[in-house]
Structure 1
């Protein structure tokens, strides 16, 4: 590696650590300051921070691989999360969530189910889910960061004792980065996270522009058009995903056939089915929800969520598309000649391109940008997970009375604990893809049913929530264990057959078990007390089946929320809007100018529609939405 690139990376690390420690004094005022920044951070900083937190290196490596192989259709693979849950948050959920005035997602649950035994059970299970999700994501980052750094950095950091390897080079690199990131995150809380993430976002944007710009200088339009098959640039798909590579690249078609997405129509149908329920269920209790709760008002919560969508996708996909074009020029021929190609080969395209095929200076900035991407997302989860351990478990059940300094010290311990567990899980994961699929399909699958029902059905109670979430978590964990041990299972047995089913197709099974737990828990126990339901409905005012609660308002009239169809229309337009921001930079970088202009036109048109149907509505939110909300006794 050239000395200029090394200097750029070192300067970035020192700057990030310095900024993180510099703002850390603001976090020492109390838990609210530590985990939510005292609700004083402006919405556009939180939006940049939220976007930066979603710009992770493991996800970027995965997206580079699938865009490389499948072409522009691959943007639909992100629907597994689904990425358009951000659209639902933007359109109505951010306002619903922010009205609670609480610190964490599990504390928010008490405003829905009350603070009795059932409410506390629901509160505890969502805190456990949040911690599990944080641990899973840390494992995901551990796996991705190690692979990335091993390829791009020249030093072998393998740690061995005699003939026994303690840590591979991948693991050593991942541990070092995680250690540095954990230090400034724990020290400064939300203030450090947001401040450093804004800095990291700017670096990532610059890296994306430079990489995309480099491809325009390095390759002509004719070279790009000769290299990329026309079907690669086609968004339209059939029920079956057929290989479109020809000539020397036939091996890529075999890889497409073995990745589990062959029945593409069924796959997209499943992602749409899962996506709707998962999106209405709302953001999982993690860094995204923490950003919403950190905003100053409900109006700013909506602005922040919309701004996150706006700032995230174009710069990210400029970078991804630029890397893919370079990879198609230089790495695709090598992969085709090597014979057998696996999914793991796709995951190292990103670091290989950076290591061997970008010029000095740009390489350093790109490495700093991707290191920033890793650190920003990782720090977001390190800040979010311990909030649930300390505020929702330790403080509520073990140490309800203590000083702010005591709770902040407890947060330090919790942060290290979450990181250690995530790293341990990362040691046992096969690949980035394995963890990605587990998080998006299995773990989140267990979250959907209970969290969908909590918004739309008044009769759904705390015990229903508890048993629904618990059933989902058990099935999700069982699926992960099966997937990691499928090589040890006897072929032909039921367990082996279940282990080889792609996780996305197991979503209906997980949903059914979770829904069954939710319904049984609800109907075999008493409803949530009416004062809690009335307070929740008056404050949040969701749409759904709330008529019995509305009828309890004798002295004041609470109108039914009739915004469902408008919200769904906005979500549909928002998904198209979001998709245009993904496709626009891809088509630009691969020099398909007609589709670039078409994507730009769609982006502008959908932006105009949302101005009238969403933005104008948000501007009319009244000040009463920001009055303090007190949990009903």
Structure 2
């Protein structure tokens, strides 16, 4: 892809502005630990809200959405849309609780909520686990997207892409601290949104999207919608909800996320009960009202405003870079498994290979006919079977031809490997995407459906190309700089200051923060070079946090939860995740049994594993809670005085404090949990209705669009009417 002088000028102009901001605030950011990591706790809601949105507007998010849409349709996004529920719960219940705590990081919370050596251990362990291990995994996924975009748009090799991205981001992050991140996030958000809408506009204008219908040439949005509606294999991709006819897809993509995933899994930006960099921004707010306002703005913008430009680009990519045909994919599924066998036979027994191909083809045809007779899900028609069998036989004969053309055994081995890779691309519907790029800039192991977004950017005109690429660079810098600052805050405040050098000077802490920023980026780059797809990362991160969410929700409202509860939740969740994702696939018998059980429950294997991890880890931490000593009274009394938590889970503590002659005298009113949950539901309905309304307006489904719009307006009115009660009596301690 050729970048014009204008494109390069736009990009370097942005870098200059970002670096200028970092340099301008570097002096104030370096005054103290609080200034470097929280901006002096004086930030307004709108700046924090924009920063939250910009941070989650990372380079891997459009790629993730594109991969989901290409493989599962628009409805595939429910795996992350469901997290809105925990986001709204954080808005109306937890945001002000976090602001009251007055901690510097969310893991510092452990030593105000729990007691003893276990609380200190938990704080240190969680700081390293989240700040280093978990954080690096997340940043590696974002950097993987940068690698793909750099390869597609600039022709950069992965190592060069990581080096340049790391150097620029680390310098910026270490200079400006948290305040620098916030100020540039506002600029980054505007640029990223302009870039996203521009990408959607030019994707709709691609000549492949045009459709001729009834003698009329349709273009733009109308053409794209028509293309999908007139193609039986693609029509369901537009659905906003998974089809009930496919029970497994419906349960796995819709029911599980809405019923379990949102409260059970710890995921960056959607932590049950709040956590991570979102809590960092709540703690940086001027007061509770600003913390609540920032979090509400984030959830509305994150789920209702941003997805549709990405979805449109993803849909267009399916037209410009179409899947392999249904019959070719079906043929390739079986071909992949026998490429080596056919290749070896072709090398050792030229006469016998023809008979082997005939036998394999007959067995393949018999399996297709059996599936059709038994009306299995996804079974082919008689006509499709005929075409598929012919394609299967042609693939096997191609193997023989390529092996025969090889002059040496080594060359034959290379040919077999290349054919197997080509068959994998065909099986997964990726042949067109693979053909769109040279292997030097985009290696085979980086080609997946998520690269469709980057591929569509190749058609942007000069100027717009530079703006969009700059917006993606901006999104990358925003996300990575936030994660670096957040992870560094754990290392400095919760490891170095707490356990290594408690009497460290403020200037020393700032420098430790800057050094740890560099270290985190190095680990991130190494891991990013070994990842394949955004979807792969999403599954890894989701599995790592499965089963811990319920504890994070309840620890604010049930006194009996202690440090041992959290330690057991983390360890059991991690151990079960390793078992189901790494050990189980190698146990053929047990793996087959699990797959059979999952199928009987209309679940895919991934969803079944997730539920098993949640169930197992929850049983573990609940059992440990009752088997271990509770937090000491002094810590519980102190926590109640600071936070004044509500609900029946604290009645015993309040009663005991009163009986001891030291009644709880909190600086804040108790939470109205009922009102908070009601507002959470209204807020969630508002965002979902807005999301659906936008989709229906785009699809031209006027009646549905009007209904969804009216629901959204009614919900907005409900929130406005209750806002005074929600924010009432928020005295700062």
The TM-score by the shorter chain falls in which range?
0.7 to 0.9
Q: In the TM superposition, what is the alpha-carbon distance from 1:430 to its structure 2 partner?
A: 3.2
Cα distance 1:194–1:496, how it changes in 2: closer, same or farther (>3 A)? farther
The question of whether the paired residues in 1 share the 8 Å contact of 2:93 and 2:677 is answered with no
Cα distance 1:414–1:296, how it changes in 2: closer, same or farther (>3 A)? same
In the alignment, the residues of structure 2 paired with residue 291 and residue 102 of structure 1 have an alpha-carbon distance, to the nearest angstrom, of 12
Whether 1:174 aligns to 2:261 is no
Whether 1:459 aligns to 2:546 is no
Q: In the TM superposition, what is the alpha-carbon distance from 1:493 to its structure 2 partner?
A: 5.6
In the alignment, the residues of structure 1 paired with residue 530 and residue 274 of structure 2 have an alpha-carbon distance, to the nearest angstrom, of 24
Aligned to 2:556, the other structure's residue is in SS state helix
Structure 2 partner of 1:185: 173
In the alignment, the residues of structure 2 paired with residue 609 and residue 405 of structure 1 have an alpha-carbon distance, to the nearest angstrom, of 48
Structure 2 partner of 1:273: 260
- Which of 233, 236, 255 is equivalent to 2:238? 233
TM-score computed with the length of structure 1 as normaliser: 0.84
Structure 2 partner of 1:610: 719
The question of whether the paired residues in 2 share the 8 Å contact of 1:61 and 1:347 is answered with yes
Structure 1 window deviating more from structure 2 (137-146 vs 555-564): it is: 555-564
The question of whether the paired residues in 2 share the 8 Å contact of 1:215 and 1:589 is answered with no
The question of whether the paired residues in 1 share the 8 Å contact of 2:74 and 2:311 is answered with no
Alignment of 1:209-228 (within 5 A): 209-214=197-202, 219-220=219-220, 222-228=222-228
Structure 2 partner of 1:250: none
Structure 1 window deviating more from structure 2 (88-97 vs 266-275): it is: 266-275
Cα distance 1:594–1:102, how it changes in 2: closer, same or farther (>3 A)? same
- Which of 414, 417, 427 is equivalent to 1:340? 427
Structure 2 partner of 1:264: 250
Q: In the TM superposition, what is the alpha-carbon distance from 1:29 to its structure 2 partner?
A: 0.8
Aligned to 1:84, the other structure's residue is in SS state helix
Structure 1 partner of 2:232: none
The question of whether the paired residues in 2 share the 8 Å contact of 1:207 and 1:319 is answered with no
Structure 1 residues 176-222: Cα deviation after superposition (integer angstroms, max 9, x where no partner): 21221122112211011111111100101222333444567772454
Structure 1 residues 520-569: Cα deviation after superposition (integer angstroms, max 9, x where no partner): 43333321112221232343314352221121242657899673333322
In the alignment, the residues of structure 1 paired with residue 650 and residue 256 of structure 2 have an alpha-carbon distance, to the nearest angstrom, of 29
Cα distance 1:9–1:524, how it changes in 2: closer, same or farther (>3 A)? same
Q: In the TM superposition, what is the alpha-carbon distance from 1:66 to its structure 2 partner?
A: 1.9
Q: In the TM superposition, what is the alpha-carbon distance from 1:369 to its structure 2 partner?
A: 1.4
- Which of 506, 509, 520 is equivalent to 2:612? 509
Alignment of 1:257-336 (within 5 A): 262-271=248-257, 272-278=259-265, 282=272, 285-332=275-322
Structure 1 partner of 2:140: 139
What is the number of residues matched between the two proteins? 584
Whether 1:203 aligns to 2:191 is yes
Q: In the TM superposition, what is the alpha-carbon distance from 1:423 to its structure 2 partner?
A: 2.5
Q: In the TM superposition, what is the alpha-carbon distance from 1:278 to its structure 2 partner?
A: 4.4
Q: In the TM superposition, what is the alpha-carbon distance from 1:98 to its structure 2 partner?
A: 1.2
In the alignment, the residues of structure 2 paired with residue 173 and residue 321 of structure 1 have an alpha-carbon distance, to the nearest angstrom, of 26
Q: In the TM superposition, what is the alpha-carbon distance from 1:306 to its structure 2 partner?
A: 0.6
Alignment of 1:327-476 (within 5 A): 327-332=317-322, 339-342=426-429, 344-355=447-458, 357-440=459-542, 442-476=543-577
Q: In the TM superposition, what is the alpha-carbon distance from 1:333 to its structure 2 partner?
A: 6.9
The question of whether the paired residues in 2 share the 8 Å contact of 1:446 and 1:473 is answered with no
- Which of 39, 50, 53 is equivalent to 1:51? 53
In the alignment, the residues of structure 2 paired with residue 292 and residue 117 of structure 1 have an alpha-carbon distance, to the nearest angstrom, of 28
The question of whether the paired residues in 1 share the 8 Å contact of 2:559 and 2:649 is answered with yes
Structure 2 partner of 1:563: 672
Cα distance 1:125–1:18, how it changes in 2: closer, same or farther (>3 A)? same
In the alignment, the residues of structure 1 paired with residue 107 and residue 46 of structure 2 have an alpha-carbon distance, to the nearest angstrom, of 25
Alignment of 1:13-28 (within 5 A): 13-28=15-30
Aligned to 2:121, the other structure's residue is in SS state helix
Q: In the TM superposition, what is the alpha-carbon distance from 1:293 to its structure 2 partner?
A: 1.1
The question of whether the paired residues in 1 share the 8 Å contact of 2:53 and 2:298 is answered with yes
**Unmatched runs of 5 consecutive residues or more in structure 1:** 158-168, 243-261, 628-633
**Unmatched runs of 5 consecutive residues or more in structure 2:** 207-218, 230-234, 329-424, 431-446, 599-603
Cα distance 1:285–1:567, how it changes in 2: closer, same or farther (>3 A)? closer
The question of whether the paired residues in 2 share the 8 Å contact of 1:104 and 1:388 is answered with yes
Structure 1 window deviating more from structure 2 (65-74 vs 192-201): it is: 65-74
Q: In the TM superposition, what is the alpha-carbon distance from 1:595 to its structure 2 partner?
A: 4.0
Q: In the TM superposition, what is the alpha-carbon distance from 1:571 to its structure 2 partner?
A: 2.0
Whether 1:103 aligns to 2:205 is no
Alignment of 1:477-516 (within 5 A): 477-479=578-580, 481-482=582-583, 489=586, 491-492=588-589, 494=591, 502-516=605-619
In the alignment, the residues of structure 1 paired with residue 323 and residue 578 of structure 2 have an alpha-carbon distance, to the nearest angstrom, of 40
TM-score computed with the length of structure 2 as normaliser: 0.73
In the alignment, the residues of structure 2 paired with residue 507 and residue 339 of structure 1 have an alpha-carbon distance, to the nearest angstrom, of 29
In the alignment, the residues of structure 2 paired with residue 515 and residue 270 of structure 1 have an alpha-carbon distance, to the nearest angstrom, of 16
Structure 2 partner of 1:148: 149
Structure 2 partner of 1:543: 647
Q: In the TM superposition, what is the alpha-carbon distance from 1:474 to its structure 2 partner?
A: 3.3
In the alignment, the residues of structure 2 paired with residue 375 and residue 517 of structure 1 have an alpha-carbon distance, to the nearest angstrom, of 39
Q: In the TM superposition, what is the alpha-carbon distance from 1:45 to its structure 2 partner?
A: 0.4
Cα distance 1:25–1:399, how it changes in 2: closer, same or farther (>3 A)? same
Whether 1:530 aligns to 2:614 is no
Cα distance 1:333–1:480, how it changes in 2: closer, same or farther (>3 A)? closer
Structure 2 partner of 1:60: 62
Structure 1 partner of 2:118: 118
Q: In the TM superposition, what is the alpha-carbon distance from 1:384 to its structure 2 partner?
A: 0.6
In the alignment, the residues of structure 2 paired with residue 23 and residue 342 of structure 1 have an alpha-carbon distance, to the nearest angstrom, of 49
Cα distance 1:522–1:98, how it changes in 2: closer, same or farther (>3 A)? same
Aligned to 1:455, the other structure's residue is in SS state coil
Q: In the TM superposition, what is the alpha-carbon distance from 1:79 to its structure 2 partner?
A: 4.1
Cα distance 1:427–1:209, how it changes in 2: closer, same or farther (>3 A)? closer
The question of whether the paired residues in 2 share the 8 Å contact of 1:240 and 1:265 is answered with no
In the alignment, the residues of structure 2 paired with residue 334 and residue 148 of structure 1 have an alpha-carbon distance, to the nearest angstrom, of 23
- Higher gyration radius (CA): 2
Cα distance 1:267–1:203, how it changes in 2: closer, same or farther (>3 A)? closer
The question of whether the paired residues in 1 share the 8 Å contact of 2:65 and 2:314 is answered with no
The question of whether the paired residues in 1 share the 8 Å contact of 2:74 and 2:240 is answered with yes
